[in-house]
């Protein structure tokens, strides 16, 4: 059984081409007062409207955390970054837990870090090892996963913020209601002919597998978490990237090019 992880990476050491909807000059308290359409992509604004109150409450909580002198990660401009990827374009969902608690690492996409971060977190290094074993793609020294996001890979943490140095510190503060609505929205998109839009969900570890009931008939790829604590117990050898491409092809949606550029 996988251990209960403290962050999406379980690393103690420890993108997307659109311009940020908000700037670093805007704080969390200000985010809580902005129109939803200024925070997320238009189709996400519609999907998240039922939980807008929850979202504003948790952003206000982050404002209070910052006002009390706590460093909140990621930055205000990145905290909703996953939702700047249009909902309509999502093809693969990869569920993380909560952001890396090391300052400078979290960028608003699960498992990703800033392209300048060295060394990359160990969970991400293990993901790269499996990517090489699965598809023969070379590991990278950087952790910028925006090329995946550009192709419709939604890198979504269950909890979208954390207090610096305190993994898991923003669990049960309201994010779960928001990301539950987001996952349901991704899984319940229909084409004009009434068929479900293509989607594959990759769930690494017990925390991620807990969202299984939200995904309906979505094809799932599940394994142990890539953390050094559990990667050898089922993550290595699981071949999630080739399996995801096969499942996308079965749904008539081509493949994801999982190769990342040598440098961000």
- What structural domains does the chain harbor? 28-250 (3.40.470.10)
Least confident of 24-33, 55-64, 157-166: 24-33
| pTM beyond 0.85, yes or no | yes
* Residue 243: φ, ψ to 5°: -65, -40
Residues 6+ apart with CB under 8 A from 62: 28, 29, 31, 72, 79, 161, 170
Residues 14-47 have pLDDT tens digits of 333 333 444 447 999 999 999 999 999 999 999 9
Residues 198-256 have pLDDT tens digits of 999 999 999 999 999 999 999 999 999 999 999 999 999 999 999 999 999 999 999 99
Point out the residues that are catalytic. Answer: 98
Q: How many CB atoms lie within 10 A of CB 192?
A: 5
């Amino acid at each position: 059984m996988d251990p209960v992880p403290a962050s999406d990476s379980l690393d103690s050491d420890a993108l997307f081409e659109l311009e940020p909807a908000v700037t670093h000059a805007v704080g969390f308290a200000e985010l809580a007062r902005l129109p939803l359409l200024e925070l997320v992509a238009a189709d996400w604004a519609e999907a998240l409207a039922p939980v807008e109150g929850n979202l504003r409450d948790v952003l206000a909580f982050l404002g209070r955390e910052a006002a009390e002198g706590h460093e909140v990660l990621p930055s205000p401009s990145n905290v909703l970054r996953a939702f700047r990827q249009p909902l309509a374009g999502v093809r693969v969902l990869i569920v993380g837990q909560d952001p890396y608690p090391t300052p400078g690492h979290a960028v608003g996409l699960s498992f990703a870090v800033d392209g300048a971060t060295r060394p990359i977190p160990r969970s991400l290094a293990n993901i790269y090892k499996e990517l090489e074993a699965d598809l023969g793609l070379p590991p990278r020294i950087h952790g910028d996963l925006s090329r995946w996001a550009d192709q419709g890979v939604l890198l979504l943490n269950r909890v979208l913020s954390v207090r610096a140095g305190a993994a898991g510190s923003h669990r049960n503060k309201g994010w779960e209601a928001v990301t539950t609505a987001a996952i349901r929205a991704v899984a319940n998109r229909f084409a004009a002919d009434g068929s479900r839009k293509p989607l594959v969900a990759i769930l690494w570890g017990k925390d991620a597998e807990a969202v299984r009931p939200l995904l309906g008939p979505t094809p799932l790829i599940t394994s142990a978490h890539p953390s050094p604590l559990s990667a050898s117990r089922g993550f290595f050898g699981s071949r999630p990237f080739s399996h995801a491409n096969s499942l996308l092809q079965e749904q008539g949606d081509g493949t994801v090019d999982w190769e990342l550029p040598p440098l961000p």
